[in-house]
Amino acid sequence: MQTLDQLRRWLDGYSSSASPKLPQSVSSLPPALPTPPAPRLEGKSLMAKIADAVRPSTAQRIAKEERAIADVERQIVDMQAAQKLRSLDEEADEAVKIAEKISFAERRLIVHRERLKALHKQQRREAVDQLQRQKDAELQDFEKKLTGKATAGVRLDRAIVEFAAAMQAYNEACRAPFASWPATFPSIKIFEGFSHSHMDSRIASALRMRSVAPELFANLSTRIGSIAERDIKIAASLVEDIRTAPLPKLHDDPEGMAA
């Protein structure tokens, strides 16, 4: 499969060549690159599949911790109310026991809140990882399309060279019948207008141009430059800029963890 790097290496080799024509191998380049084969995934064992199926997601674990926090907070409120009643009834021992339970519940509340905080961070990391995988896949598709454009540019470069050669061959073919004018023919001055192709004028007229110098077509590829080379350089720059650009911030990520 042709890639952008392979096209760049080929073009570098072509640019260093003294030959004015593109190699014949270019004609075999496809108009677009074939779809890369999907990566082969290693099969998981039955136990691994079962474990994946029953393992709670981060969102489920967050919901569980939030329920636990709400339950402990309600318990603390109830125990604080009971503690006040015991204090009013002068049941000091019961009040102390309730205070110990409240202290234990508050420690559990701290643990649950720390777990919840860690789970939120994990959830953001998972979202960033998913976003990065999506970006990588989309960038690969984007690079494939850019490579298709560069491949088409290679074919267009070759077509421009062939067009200039065809124009030159056609002009020479138009002059050839009149190059050695037999003496038995009427004067060549009568027919010499047919010895010119006038193709440059016809093309200029089609393009609504006043005139085109014949040398323009002969040097067309030089004047335009390599279309493929320009496309490859632009594509490489685009891909690198996108690859190194930070991910967009997540909607629920004010700290910019996605960056």
**Domain ranges within the chain, ordered by starting residue:** 50-244
Residue whose C-alpha is closest to residue 158's, from 228, 219, 214, 218: 228
Whether the per-residue pLDDT at 251 is higher than 70: the answer is no
Token pair in block for residue 34: 């074939």
The residue with tokens 């939030």 is 66
pTM: 0.62
Model confidence at 30: pLDDT above 70: no
d(CA 23, CA 64): 66
Among the residues of the chain, which ranges form H helices? 4-15, 46-54, 58-88, 92-179, 199-206, 214-218, 220-224, 227-244
Express each pLDDT in 160-206 by its tens digit: 999 989 988 998 999 999 999 999 999 999 998 888 888 888 888 88
**What pLDDT, on the 0 to 100 scale, is given for residue 26?**
43
Q: Please compute the mean of the pLDDT values over residues 222-231 and round it to a whole number.
A: 90
Question: What local confidence, expressed as pLDDT, does residue 19 receive?
Answer: 42
Burial, 203: exposed, middle or buried (Cβ in 10 Å; 0-12, 13-18, 19+)?
middle
Q: Around 165, how many Cα atoms within 13 Å sit in the side-chain half-sphere?
A: 9
